[in-house]
Chain A
Amino acid sequence: MSTFVLLTLTGLGLAALYFLVASGLSLVFGLADVLNFAHGLFLSVGAYATWWAAGHVPGAGPTGFGFVLAAACGVVAGALVAAVVELVLIRPLYSRTIEQVLVTVGLSLAGVALLQATWGADPRPFPRPEWTRNVTGILGAQIPNASLLLILAAAAVLALLLLFLRFTRVGLVIRAGVENREMVTALGIDVRKAFTLVFAIGGAAAALAGALGGVYFGSVSPGQGGSLLIFAFIVVVIGGMGSVVGSAYAAVAVGLLQQFVNYYGTAGLGDICVVALLAIVLLVRPQGIAGRAVTA
């Protein structure tokens, strides 16, 4: 029983990390039709900005409120970088898919190279609040607090995103834009402003994943964003493009599958099963769990 609880909660912790990265990616693709391969860079920016802020920003540090402040710096940095990327690099390339892919892949590679040139390629110890180094006993299982923190953060982000989408005008524009962007424009709405905001929200969520991922892994390295991005893409496709709730379901499925199969099977087999799950979803329900079927 305790093993089951441990695997479930650590699986959910992993799912939380995937969700934080995937939610923004999904909204950006659903609304703006942009396949953003630079999304992992926002995660890295968040992680490095948190790491840097913990040592340099007055009041910030590795413990208590200091860590919250450092993580807030990371989130703001991620949101700002994402907004600038949208305004400067993506905006001139809407409707030009190939160029978008080239630019975002290039930006992702350049971003990693820049981080490596600045702080080196080796992982750096991440500032971790003392509490996150400990475990909490739940139903006989010793659960790492870092996993619990990720689950709580992802649940909070999910709730905030749903409230934002449900109760604000911009949220309404985003929901409508995911369905039919052209028609939103035909109602007199400058949908490009929503694009920038969605990029910033996605960047903030990814940066939070970077900050909390640093706590979870205990270190930060330039390539972290890229490796998590692969699973985030899988989550987005399984969940359905443009659906935050779909991304949440898919993240849970992927995180639990990975954790259980890696434990009861062979290490690494979980990743293969995730790819198999992706293939099954693409065959059976190509629009994803919560996506809408494309009709003529």
Chain B
Amino acid sequence: MSDPILSVTDLSVRIAGLHILQGVSFTVAPTGVTALLGRNGVGKTTTLRALVGLTPRGGEVSGSARFGDRDALHTPTHRLVRAGLGYVPEDRCVFAGLTVAENLRLAERPGAAPAYDRVYALFPELDKRSRQRAGTLSGGQQQMLAIGRVLLADNTLLLVDEPTKGLAPKVVTEVAEALAAVAEEVPVLLVEQNLAVVRRLARDAVVLAAGRVAWTGAADKLLGEPELTKALLGVGSQGVHA
């Protein structure tokens, strides 16, 4: 088996006195999608933000996270990203006052040719709306822009946080299809609540509960056992429209 692209060991995060992550350890395979799952508030987004160095001010992070030859927890965010760690945040975080083209231009990395062809092949809508302000795009279009922005450069791992949150069912399908195409080229650590999307995309799964890893294994196995899914995630193994 190949070495993992990311190895998280004993990751703990305290924010405002709350011990949100309490010694989380897991690995991300160098290919395919690894889903990071769990009920609301267990620390999925906190995990991604800690890995990319965006823990809120005052937060305390400990443990280690090997990404290539770096410890992600002790590397400035911009250096991690330039080293190939792409991050698509929850709620998209596009720059509302900038145009689509400006949002993309901002993501160009020095010394690397931007892959506009790849982005526009995946999301042709972005090309058509290049002069439109990002704040006036629909939620689905904003999500495409958030993903497209990261795909402009070559990455060795993508962290994607709830890409289908708040989207219409048809758009959920489009985003899932785009992520499936992306995952053929680059490994993805995906936080996702929609289990139909997880079922479609993920090969591996890591489940968090109360700030700790409660289960790891094949995503099929988790979602194939309704009682296990219910026990770990508090929902049935069905999702909608992937």
A-side interface residues toward B, CB under 8 Å? 95, 169, 172-173, 175-176, 179-180, 182-191, 292
Given A95-B57, A179-B95, A180-B93, A186:B106 Cβ within 8 A? no
A226 to chain B minimum Cβ distance, whole angstroms, is 30
- Residue contact B98 to A176, C-beta cutoff 8 Å: yes
- Residue contact A189 to B93, C-beta cutoff 8 Å: no
- Residue contact B105 to A191, C-beta cutoff 8 Å: no
In the bound assembly, the distance between CA atoms of A89 and B106 in angstroms comes to: 29
Given A172-B105, A182-B54, A187:B98 Cβ within 8 A? no
- Residue contact B78 to A188, C-beta cutoff 8 Å: yes
Which B residues are in CB contact (< 8 Å) with A179? 95-98
- Residue contact B97 to A175, C-beta cutoff 8 Å: yes
CB neighbors of A among B97-121 (8 A): 97-98, 102, 105-107, 109
Q: Which residue of B lies closest to A185 (CB)?
A: B77
Residue in B52, B95, B149, B153 whose Cβ sees the most chain A Cβ within 10 Å: B95
Q: Which one, A169, A172, A190, contacts B78 given CB within 8 A?
A: A190
B-side interface residues toward A, CB under 8 Å? 52, 54, 57, 76-78, 81-82, 87, 89, 93, 95-98, 102, 105-107, 109, 149, 153
Given A95-B57, A182-B54, A187:B96 Cβ within 8 A? no
Which A residues are in CB contact (< 8 Å) with B96? 179, 292
- Residue contact A183 to B89, C-beta cutoff 8 Å: yes
- Residue contact B95 to A173, C-beta cutoff 8 Å: no
In the bound assembly, the distance between CA atoms of A152 and B82 in angstroms comes to: 43
Which B residues are in CB contact (< 8 Å) with A183? 89, 93, 95
In the bound assembly, the distance between CA atoms of A182 and B93 in angstroms comes to: 10
Which A residues are in CB contact (< 8 Å) with B109? 188
Which A residues are in CB contact (< 8 Å) with B153? 188
- Determine chain B's interface SS by DSSP, over half rule: loop
Which A residues are in CB contact (< 8 Å) with B102? 172, 175-176
In the bound assembly, the distance between CA atoms of A191 and B78 in angstroms comes to: 9
B67 to chain A minimum Cβ distance, whole angstroms, is 14
B191 to chain A minimum Cβ distance, whole angstroms, is 15
Given A186-B54, A189-B106, A172:B149 Cβ within 8 A? no
B188 to chain A minimum Cβ distance, whole angstroms, is 16
Which B residues are in CB contact (< 8 Å) with A95? 57
Which B residues are in CB contact (< 8 Å) with A176? 95, 98, 102, 106
- Residue contact B52 to A186, C-beta cutoff 8 Å: yes
Q: Which residue of B lies closest to A187 (CB)?
A: B107
Which B residues are in CB contact (< 8 Å) with A180? 93, 95
The contact sample of 10 A-B pairs, CB cut-off 8 A, is A95-B57, A172-B98, A176-B98, A176-B106, A179-B95, A182-B54, A186-B87, A188-B109, A188-B153, A292-B96
Which A residues are in CB contact (< 8 Å) with B149? 187
A30 to chain B minimum Cβ distance, whole angstroms, is 12
B76 to chain A minimum Cβ distance, whole angstroms, is 8
In the bound assembly, the distance between CA atoms of A242 and B57 in angstroms comes to: 21
In the bound assembly, the distance between CA atoms of A292 and B82 in angstroms comes to: 30
Q: Which residue of A lies closest to B82 (CB)?
A: A188
B147 to chain A minimum Cβ distance, whole angstroms, is 13
Q: Which residue of B lies closest to A97 (CB)?
A: B57
In the bound assembly, the distance between CA atoms of A95 and B52 in angstroms comes to: 18
Q: Which residue of A lies closest to B146 (CB)?
A: A183
In the bound assembly, the distance between CA atoms of A172 and B106 in angstroms comes to: 7
Which B residues are in CB contact (< 8 Å) with A188? 78, 81-82, 107, 109, 153
Which A residues are in CB contact (< 8 Å) with B93? 180, 183, 186
Which B residues are in CB contact (< 8 Å) with A182? 54
B208 to chain A minimum Cβ distance, whole angstroms, is 22
In the bound assembly, the distance between CA atoms of A17 and B215 in angstroms comes to: 64
In the bound assembly, the distance between CA atoms of A189 and B107 in angstroms comes to: 8
Which B residues are in CB contact (< 8 Å) with A172? 98, 102, 105-106
Which B residues are in CB contact (< 8 Å) with A186? 52, 54, 77, 81, 87, 89, 93
Which B residues are in CB contact (< 8 Å) with A185? 54, 76-78, 81
Q: Which residue of B lies closest to A169 (CB)?
A: B105
In the bound assembly, the distance between CA atoms of A182 and B49 in angstroms comes to: 11
If A175-B98, A185-B54, A190-B76 are given as contacts, then 19 extra A-B residue pairs at C-beta distance below 8 Å, sorted by A number, are A172-B98, A172-B106, A173-B106, A179-B95, A179-B96, A179-B97, A180-B95, A182-B54, A183-B89, A183-B93, A185-B76, A185-B77, A185-B81, A186-B52, A186-B54, A186-B89, A187-B149, A188-B153, A191-B78
In the bound assembly, the distance between CA atoms of A185 and B80 in angstroms comes to: 10
Q: Which residue of A lies closest to B84 (CB)?
A: A188
